Amino acid sequence: MEVTKVTNATRIFKIGEIETKALRGVDLSVQDGEFTALVGPSGSGKTTLLQLIGLLDQPTTGSVTINGQDATGLNRNQRADLRKNAIGFVFQFFALIPTLTAYENVEMPLLLNGTKPAQRKERVAEMLEAVGLSDRAHHRPDQLSGGQQQRVAVARALATNPKLILADEPTANLDTENGKQVMDIMQRLNKETGVTFVFATHDPRVIGYANRVVTLQDGLIIKDGRANGKS
């Protein structure tokens, strides 16, 4: 089943009189259970593409579907609703809410989608367990290492059981060991739960985990190939 489909998407940014074409007409279809890497040099458009898939931004032309639903023309709140249940995010910076504990950060998307308290508690515990941070549940982000924070972010992204997780340079700010840990966890969850991962990266070690590598350059997909994926 197709989790997301991008059709002939362009994204043009205007700063004053100057137009920058970040995407020049991209077609991409991601199937259920894929572990896909978007690769390419800086400025190739991989983050922009990830943001379009994540409905954080809208294409200038073209369309994006999520789980078969066309997101073109949805307003800000409708996009937020769709994101809430269908997509999880892991960002390059450790995007946790600094005033909330690890537990509360993971709980936040469950609060937003109205999960009942008992189920919420169970699910948060399960997710923290899955990323190996049960013993850090009541620590705030500034009491956690970068790798731990990113693992909390992974747990949060998976909390609502979305079909698609988008990760933008998830290991860019981590050392090799922590980067490996995060990637191992993401890969394990992909295999165990079947959740689809699409991540933007230019780290060769990360690319090695992917079972599909999509290469972008100057706003266009120049290569789309299957890979074995590190196991």
Partner 1 sequence: MLQAFKLAYRNIWRNKTRSLLSALAVGIGMALLLLMVSVLDGEMTGALNNTIRLQSGHLQIRPASYDENKVSLKWEDLIADPDQVAAKIKSLPQVTVATPRLSAGAILTLSDESKGVQILGIEPDSAANQPFREGMLKGEFLKADDREGILIGNILAEKFKLGVNDKVNLLVTTSNGDVNEQVFTIRGIFTTRTPAYDESTIFMPLAKAQAITATENHASTIFVMLQNSADAEAVAQALKSNNYKVLTWREQNAFITQFEDFANAFFVILYLIVLGITATVVTNTLVMAVFERTREIGILSAIGMKGGAIMAQFLAEAALLATGGVIGGLIIGGIAVAYFTVYGIYIGDYGITGALFEDHIYAHLTLTNTVNLAIVTYIITLIASLYPARLAARMEPVEALHGAGE
Sequence-separated (6 or more) residues with CB below 8 Å from residue 76: none
Please report where in the chains the tokens 């709140």 appear, as a residue: 77
Nearest CB to partner 1, comparing residues 80 and 222: 80
98 binds partner 1 (CB under 8 A): yes
Stretch near partner 1 under the rule CB under 8 A, chosen from 65-73, 78-86, 172-180, 214-222: 78-86
Please report where in the chains the tokens 């295999």 appear, as a residue: 191
45 binds partner 1 (CB under 8 A): no
Which helix (H) or strand (E) segment holds residue 101: the answer is none
Contacts (CB under 8 A) with partner 1, residues 149-188: 156
Which helix (H) or strand (E) segment holds residue 174: the answer is none
Q: How far is the CB of 13 from partner 1 (least distance, A)?
A: 11
Binding residue (CB under 8 A) for partner 1 from 12, 56, 74, 137: 56
113 binds partner 1 (CB under 8 A): yes
12 binds partner 1 (CB under 8 A): no
Task: Give the C-alpha separation, 225 to 220, whole Å.
Answer: 15
77 binds partner 1 (CB under 8 A): yes
Which helix (H) or strand (E) segment holds residue 223: the answer is strand 220-226
83 binds partner 1 (CB under 8 A): yes
Sequence-separated (6 or more) residues with CB below 8 Å from residue 12: 19, 20, 21, 22, 60
95 binds partner 1 (CB under 8 A): yes
3-class secondary structure, 196: strand
Task: Give the C-alpha separation, 44 to 176, whole Å.
Answer: 24
Q: How far is the CB of 202 from partner 1 (least distance, A)?
A: 19
57 binds partner 1 (CB under 8 A): yes
Stretch near partner 1 under the rule CB under 8 A, chosen from 59-67, 83-91, 204-212, 219-227: 83-91
Q: How far is the CB of 208 from partner 1 (least distance, A)?
A: 27
